[in-house]
Structure 1
Amino acid sequence: MTESAPVVLRSAANPTVRHLIRLRDNRYRRKSERVIVDGWRETAQAIESGMKICGYYVSESDADIDSANEDPAVARVRKHPAAAGKRMLASDAIMEKIGYGDSVRGVVAEFQRPDWGLDRLKLPESPLILVLDKIEKPGNIGAVFRCADAAGVDAVLLSDCQDRFNPNAIRSSLGAIFRVPNASGSQEQIADFLTAENFHVLAARVESSTPFWSVPWAGRVAIVLGSEADGLGDRWQTILDGQGKQQKIDGVRIPMAGKVDSLNISVSAAVITFEAIRQRTNV
C-alpha cells in the first residue's frame, strides 16, 4: 500500500488560508489571541521561548530540503518536539498571500498569544530595564528589542505602546522579542510595578541638563524613553516612592552637537544602555 501524498494548501478560499490572511489584521489577531511569525530564525526563537505553536507552513517546493544542507534555524524548528506534526505545505502562491511583506521568508508560523504579564517577569537582583512609552511604530519597537538584546538589558516594558507582537515589530527585532523578557501595560500599571520592585527610575528628556553618562547606573534601574516625535511630554514626571509619596523622576539627556535635537528611539536606547552596561560592568 503506497503512502498518500501530503495535503497542500492551494486555494485562497480554504478556511485555514483565510484565517492566516486575516491574522495580518491587528484587530483580528488580538481577538483571536494569536501571533503570526515569518522566518525560520524568528519561528525557532518563538518555539524556544515556550510559546505554543499552532502550526507552521512551508512551500511545497521546499518540502524535501536535504537535511545535510539544512539551515540551522530550519533544523531547530523541524527537530523541536513542540513542532512535531505541526507542519503543513502550501503552494508558492498561497505562501505569498499568507507571508508578511514583499518576500516570503521560508516559513509562516501561527502561535497562541503568550500571557507575558508584569507578574510573570523574572528579573535578576540588580536589573537594568527599558521602559518604552507610547511608541506607535512597530518597526521602532522591534529595533529597540534588538538593541536591548545586544546590550544585555534584563527586560523591556511597554507603556501604552503598539502591540509588540505586530509582524513588523517581530521582523525588525530579528526575533529578540522572543528572547528579551518583556511585558506591556498602562503607564499606571508599569509605574506601580517599578515602585513595588524598588526601581530607581530615570527618564530620557531633551530638556534635561544632565548628560546620561554622568548619573550612576548601578543597582535596580529603569530608563524611560518616549517617541522621537513627541518625547515624554508631561508623562513620567513623578512616581510614587515606597512610602506612597510622589517623587520627581530625574531626567537625563543625550547631548547633541549638531542641529538635530532628537534621535530615533532605537539609537537612543542603544547609546544609553551600552553606557549603562559599561558602568555596571566597570569596563
Structure 2
Amino acid sequence: MSTNAVNANQGGFVSLVGAGPGDPDLLTVKGYRVIQQAEVLVYDRLVSEEILAIANPEAERIYVGKQLDFHCVPQDQINQILVEKAQQGKRVVRLKGGDSFIFGRGGEELEELSEHNISFEVVPGITAAAGATSYAGIPLTHRDHAQSVQFITGHIQKNGQEIQWSSLAQPNNTLVFYMGLKQCRHIQANLIEQGIDVDMPCAIIENGTRKEQRVFTGKLSELANLAEQAVSPALIVVGSVTSLHDKLKWF
C-alpha cells in the first residue's frame, strides 16, 4: 500500500479516477469502489450518468466539465476546489473520462495537491485510444500492419509549440489523435507534407464505446471531409490497421 493511501485516514484525501472511454461497464473495479466511498465528486463532461449513479446520493457533486472552446470551470479553479475540499477533511474523487494521465491533465492537478501536502492516489482508466479502437475493430498494433503506436493531442500546447510532425512519419506506425476533430485539415496537410501516403487508411471514431458510436473510414486525403461528418468526442486514427475495421468490427 502506498504512503498516500496509508495517510488517507489522517485527513482529506483525493482519488484521481479514470472513468474510461464511455461504456460504464469499462470502469475498473477499484474505480467503482472508490466512487461509492466519495464524499465529494468532482467530475468532467464525458463521465456517463451510469457512472455518476454509483456515487452515494448524499455525496456532494461538482461539475467542472470542459468542451471544445468552452471551459465551465478554469483549470486553476478546479485545482483550488480539490485543495479546499481535501483541506476540509473530505474524501474527494476527481473523476475524468478515459485515463487521467493521458491528455487528462491529471498530473497538473496532483502537482497542486502535492504542493499543499494533500494525500492522493491514482486509479487508472481505459484510455480512449484503447477503448474506442477496440470497439471499432481497429487493433492499434498488428504484426502485418504496425509495430508501434503514438498518441498525440490535437490541441495546441500551452506554450504554443507545434507538434513535431516529422517524428510521426514512421513506417509501420499507428497514429492516434485525441481532441483533434477541428484540426483534421491541419493534421491531414502536415502528415502528407511529411511523406505519409495520401492513400494511407484512416478512421474517425465518434462516441467510442457508447451506444451512439459511429466509425468513419477513408484515406488520409479524405480525412478533413470525414471530419465534417463527425461530432465530438471523436478520436482520429491514421495507419494501415484501420483497414481491418470492416473485417473486425463487432460493436
TM-score by length of 2: 0.32
Higher relative contact order (CA 8 A, sep 6+): 2
TM-score by length of 1: 0.29
Between Structure 1 and Structure 2, whose CA radius of gyration is higher?
1
